[in-house]
């Protein structure tokens, strides 16, 4: 059974949406949870620690990890550690011909660089005997072209590939019997009722040509509650026997 002394999860973006739902479910199941986000979280639980940090600032993120997270992931007695890279910069809607270079860099910093940095930091600090589960929240936009979502899709596609590569690298050179219990999931949650959907519905057609599609998702009742994908993610990180890298989506898991 999970306890706060043996099971620790790091979750980015715990102030709303899927990240908050994941954190709350893990706490209900006995985990200790560390949330990383710029804004304050509404979660009030003795087993929840909030780290206020700008994920787009790599130096600040590294410093926050060293000060507040590293001592926890190195704690004696930990049996399982999970990292859920959920947070994303979704404000950069717009057609690629008009994209702002500085805003694009910001999106990559939050959506690609920060998760890769955290994967490396956690893998280096967690004891080799501790099971490690990493979930990178992705999007169906990495598999098709959606006008206005280009930058967001590119940042998530980069993270998807990074997960594949890191899964290989973490086991590089290890004999079969010496392989660490580490697995990485690239997870597509589908159409979820989150602030991202609200932002998309508020966009202008010139900035997001498929804005009518997002309005249709809401009007037609296609959006699911964040608790549903949260359940998928928690089931994955609590289970064993995963391949080093895998991909999943809501329709395939629920």
Which segments within 53-130 are labelled E, that is strand?
Answer: 80-85
What are the C-alpha distances in Å from 22 to residues 10, 82, 198?
Answer: 10, 11, 20
Q: For residue 152, indicate whether it is catalytic.
A: yes
Label the pairing between strands 131-137 and 80-85.
parallel
Per the CB < 8 A criterion, the answer to whether 65 and 29 are in contact is: no
The DSSP call for residue 223 is P
Burial class (CB in 10 A: 0-12, 13-18, 19+), 117: middle
CA dist., res. 183 & res. 204, Å (int): 40
Q: Dihedral sign, CA of 163, 97, 88, 56?
A: positive
Beta strands in 94-236 (DSSP E): 131-137, 182-188
With CA atoms as reference, report the closest residue to 171 among 158, 188, 184, 152: 184
114-125 vs 150-170: helix axis angle to the nearest 10?
20
* Tokens standing for residue 48: 């929840």
Q: How far apart are CA 124 and CA 118, in angstroms?
A: 10
Please pick, among 48, 152, 187, 236, the residue that the annotation labels catalytic: 152
Catalytic amino acids? 152
């Amino acid at each position: 059974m999970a306890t706060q002394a043996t099971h620790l999860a790091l979750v980015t973006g715990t102030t709303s949406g899927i990240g908050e739902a994941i954190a709350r479910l893990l706490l209900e199941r006995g985990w200790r949870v560390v949330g990383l986000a710029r804004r304050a979280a509404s979660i009030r639980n003795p087993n929840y620690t909030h780290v206020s940090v700008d994920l787009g600032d790599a130096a600040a993120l590294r410093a926050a990890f060293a000060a507040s997270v590293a001592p926890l992931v190195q704690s004696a007695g930990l049996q399982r550690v999970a990292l859920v890279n959920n947070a994303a910069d979704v404000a950069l809607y717009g057609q690629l011909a008009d994209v702002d270079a500085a805003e694009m860099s910001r999106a990559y910093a939050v959506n690609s660089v920060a998760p890769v940095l955290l994967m490396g930091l956690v893998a280096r600090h967690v004891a080799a005997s501790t099971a490690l589960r990493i979930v990178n929240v992705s999007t169906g936009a990495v598999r098709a072209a959606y006008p206005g979502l280009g930058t967001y899709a590119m940042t998530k596609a980069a993270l998807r590939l990074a997960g594949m590569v890191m899964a290989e690298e973490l086991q590089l050179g290890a004999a079969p019997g010496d392989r660490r219990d580490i697995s990485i999931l690239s997870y597509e949650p589908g159409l979820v009722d989150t602030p991202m959907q609200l932002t998309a519905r508020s966009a202008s057609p010139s900035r997001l040509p498929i804005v009518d599609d997002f309005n249709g998702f809401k009007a037609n009742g296609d959006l699911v509650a964040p608790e549903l994908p949260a359940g998928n993610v928690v089931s994955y990180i609590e289970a064993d026997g995963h391949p080093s890298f895998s991909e999943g989506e809501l329709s395939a898991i629920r």
